[in-house]
Chain A
Amino acid sequence: PQPTQKSVESDHLATDQNQLSNAGGEFGPASGAYIFRPDGVVPRDLHHMRVLRGPVVSEIHHVFSDYTSAVIRVWDKALHVEVEWTVGPIPINDKKGKEVVLRYASSLHSGATFYTDSNGREYLKRVRDFRPTWNLSVTEPVSGNYYPLTAGAYIQESGKAELAVLTDRAQGGASLASGELEIMVHRRTLFDDWRGVAEPLNETMQGCMNCHSVGLIARGKHWLTLQDPSSAALIRRTFQQRMNDPPILSFGALPKQARPGQLQD
């Protein structure tokens, strides 16, 4: 009877900024390689959702299809939302190539402007369907608005809030509508687009060509931060460093006679 509360919050996320736009995640495949002209409807059906709550971390397990899912985590004391996406093996039995995009929709009024990083350094201003140095005739409404991301992208509602998406690897991203940021996370195509190496992007797990073996599975993370513009850059920059240098774990059996607290020494 009660609609399940789809958002999980940490104390910071709810109180500090007291603005938690319901940034939902949705996948939408596009088709092509370099030049992608998405066709077909973005699947909106959410197959299955599992909500886990605990004192250290709360998670939402989203399953969108049998080859796209995401785990959304909010850690205690966290200032960010972690989205661990898993895509693949991308099916091709329908003879359609697919490029899977993770799109974050928010209630920010960011207009046509968004920002993307350049090799982790300064963030460059981007305006949809526009080039600062010549009059652009828009022939590719989607790929013409995608830019390379190394560390992240963000949108801003001036004076109100900034939504940033930080990536753990080089990806392509765009903002194709106000309040939205989308990032391409994985793809599998069947036809070459005559602009590359005369080979479709059809990697398989065993590295065998066109044997329709299992396509690659990709898994990665995005961190979402929602901050007041005055503090956003500090959070965004330190978080992109933390994303780039995650802690390295090493495991060992407990030395005998050692008690917790002595191990450090």
Chain B
Amino acid sequence: HPNTDSLEEAVSLLQHHDAITGTEKQHVTDDYHVRLARGWKESQKVFTDALAQMVTADSSAYSDAEEVPQHVPGNRRLLATAPHSTGSAHASAQPGPEAILERPGLTDVTQRSTAGSAGPVLNSNAEKVVVQGAAASAHTAQEVHNTSMSFEDSQEPQLSASDQQAITEQMCSAHSEVSTVCADKDQPVAAPQPWEQEEEGSNQRLRLQQCQLLNASVCEPSVQMSKQGQGFMVVVYNALAWERPTEPVRVPLDTTAGAQWAVTDPDGQAVESQLVPVAQSSQDLQSIMVKEGLLPSLDDAAQDELVFLAHLPPVGYAVYTIQPYSSEHAPAKAAVRATMEDV
């Protein structure tokens, strides 16, 4: 299974004082780069699988309403237990460290808002695993089957076919360049992008992708989806064991279509957001990378970023939605553009 061995090896080599100070020979530098890049790519796979494994059970997983832990606003529920959990419906045993350690990533870390709950509570009353994550460790091999986050058919109201058609037509008319959705029936529809959801019967595989050049405002999924006027989600993961209530998030965005954008938080509440032009130095960086062949083209380079403050749970994630703004989607709040003053 995917592991981080080559990243660990690369970092162990980089402990050398020359590597820290950057005073090694050029060809050694190039070797460090190759090893780090390989290690980084490999650990992204581990991260993506681990994220797929951090499951949430849909609310029906609880026997009845009051079982659902009260959320501290923005505090997200990460819930999973073995499919055949032996815990009683109402037990919520305090996790012994072994309980947490024995199934990394398949543990419910519900920060209850009840008084006195010092730390995460292992909530063993979920009836089922909604998600099968990758077998990241021997403990969970028997509990998980494949590496996809599969959504059971939720009881949520389905969009009727006519609604779906209406949205598609509206989007096609608004963004004629949208290829996948508006392609003529006889034209072969392009293969799904690595971030597009695949329908497998009633289940959906959640497909996520990271961007390695976020610090240069280059990000294929967010730029391509915004170019097509398509809403998308950003899963923001916090590795620290404490809550981060106002963590800045910057998302490269293509605003050439002129659409207005709105951000909603995991509870569907509107989030204040702002459009900021990327600095000239980023644009220069992007062009030099294209010129030097480090970037195929400027297709995935953004000239604007959508910024907002995320509320992240400890050792967990929050899913934010970024969609074209429409006043019908109350309580949406359109991103405001920063005022600019040149000196």
Would A249 and B276 count as touching, CB distance under 8 A? no
Interface residues of chain A: helix, strand, loop or mixed (majority): loop
Q: How far is the CB of B105 from chain A (nearest CB, A)?
A: 14
Alpha-carbon gap, A211 to B253, bound state (A): 36
Alpha-carbon gap, A252 to B322, bound state (A): 11
Asked whether A109 is an interface residue with its Cβ less than 8 Å from the other chain, the reply is no
Number of A-B pairs, beta carbon distance below 8 Å: 241
Asked whether A254 and B210 contact (CB < 8 A) given A4-B341, A77-B309, the answer is no
Asked whether B215 is an interface residue with its Cβ less than 8 Å from the other chain, the reply is yes
Q: Which of A18-26, A100-108, A154-162, A193-201 faces chain B?
A: A193-201
Alpha-carbon gap, A238 to B242, bound state (A): 10
CB contacts (< 8 Å) of A50 on chain B: these are 340-343
Q: How far is the CB of B252 from chain A (nearest CB, A)?
A: 10
Give the size of the chain B interface in residues (CB under 8 angstroms): 103
Would B47 and A248 count as touching, CB distance under 8 A? yes
Alpha-carbon gap, A256 to B58, bound state (A): 16
Asked whether A265 and B18 contact (CB < 8 A) given A53-B339, A252-B235, A253-B232, the answer is no
Would B195 and A251 count as touching, CB distance under 8 A? yes
Would B219 and A251 count as touching, CB distance under 8 A? yes
Closest to B242 in A: A238
Asked whether B9 is an interface residue with its Cβ less than 8 Å from the other chain, the reply is no
Would A253 and B230 count as touching, CB distance under 8 A? yes
Closest to A254 in B: B231
Interface residues of chain B: helix, strand, loop or mixed (majority): mixed
Would A264 and B274 count as touching, CB distance under 8 A? no
Would A54 and B338 count as touching, CB distance under 8 A? yes
Q: Which of A55-63, A133-141, A175-183 faces chain B?
A: A55-63
Closest to A69 in B: B281
Q: How far is the CB of A1 from chain B (nearest CB, A)?
A: 13
**A residues whose Cβ falls under 8 Å from a Cβ of B:** 4, 33-34, 48-59, 61, 63, 69, 71, 73, 75-78, 82, 84, 86, 89, 148, 170, 172, 187, 196-197, 199, 201-203, 205-207, 209, 213-214, 217, 219, 238, 241-242, 245, 247-265
Q: List 15 A-B contacts (CB under 8 A).
A: A4-B343, A52-B341, A53-B338, A54-B274, A54-B339, A56-B308, A84-B279, A197-B18, A214-B292, A250-B210, A251-B235, A252-B232, A258-B156, A260-B321, A261-B264
